[in-house]
Homo-oligomer: A and B are copies of this chain.
Amino acid sequence: MDNQGPDNQGPDDQGSKGRGPHARVLQTLGPAITSGDCPPGTVLRTDELEQRFEVSRTVVREAVRVLESMHLVESRRRVGVTVRPAEDWDVFDPQVIRWRLAGPDRPRQLRSLTALRSSIEPAAAALAAEHATPEQCAELTEHALGMVATSRGQQLAGYLVHDIAFHRVILRASGNEMFARLGDVVAAVLTGRTEHEVMFTDPDPEAVTLHVRVAEAVRERDAERAEAYTREITVGALRELDILAP
């Protein structure tokens, strides 16, 4: 019974560098907490975790330290490792976002993220219109056209790639490092939307057109139009959610 974990999540790590005991513990404990499997107030003892994962204190402690830095748990002497209430969690931590998107909290998480997105992206587009380099403008146009090309005939995978790339460029071109960092979040939302069969049919042609218009506006340095069209895109995304789960 070496690696015969009783409730192992499985060796299918999709991208979260899952080699090493440390990562294994982290990638098990993190989701367990964010999924509500270990509800707030739950107390974990270090030696109990040692046995459960069959690793040394070193590994457990390092994993706990990381969870602590995400405000998922609090470690106190004579008490143990306590799971903190959800409102304390660092919900902006990409790792936490991924865990929650993979858990039962997914719908709520997608809503939050979409709302965040629709307030950020228009502003980012306006800034992008002012700061985008010619190369970035070219990329935008390229991906907008790519979206047009893949918008019909069940080419959702290809469409998604261009969609994500498009929004990534916008966020990066804004020149604001914090906006740029949200590229991963937007990618997660868009991917989630496709996966979650919200878009099992071809994308809304109007949305496709809007992307083309945004690319135009940015190229022409028209911040106002870039912002307005982007807002239409994100408002559409919000409406989509409301229709699906009011």
Residues of A within 8 A of B (CB): 22, 58, 61-62, 65-66, 69-70, 86-87, 90-95, 108, 111-113, 115-116, 118-120, 122-124, 127, 176-181
By beta carbon, the residue of chain B nearest A68 is B66
Whether B87 contacts A94 by the Cβ 8 Å rule is no
Give min CB distance, A38 to chain B, whole Å: 19
Taken together, the copies of this chain in the complex come to 2
Residues in B whose Cβ lies below 8 Å from that of A69: 66, 69-70, 95
Residue from B65, B66, B90 in contact with A22 in the complex, judged by beta carbons closer than 8 Å: B65
Whether A178 contacts B65 by the Cβ 8 Å rule is no
CA of A116 to CA of B115 in the docked complex: distance in angstroms?
14
Residues in B whose Cβ lies below 8 Å from that of A90: 93-94, 181
CA of A5 to CA of B189 in the docked complex: distance in angstroms?
44
Give min CB distance, A190 to chain B, whole Å: 17
Q: List 12 A-B contacts (CB under 8 A).
A: A22-B65, A65-B66, A69-B95, A86-B177, A92-B178, A111-B176, A115-B178, A115-B179, A116-B176, A116-B178, A116-B179, A120-B120
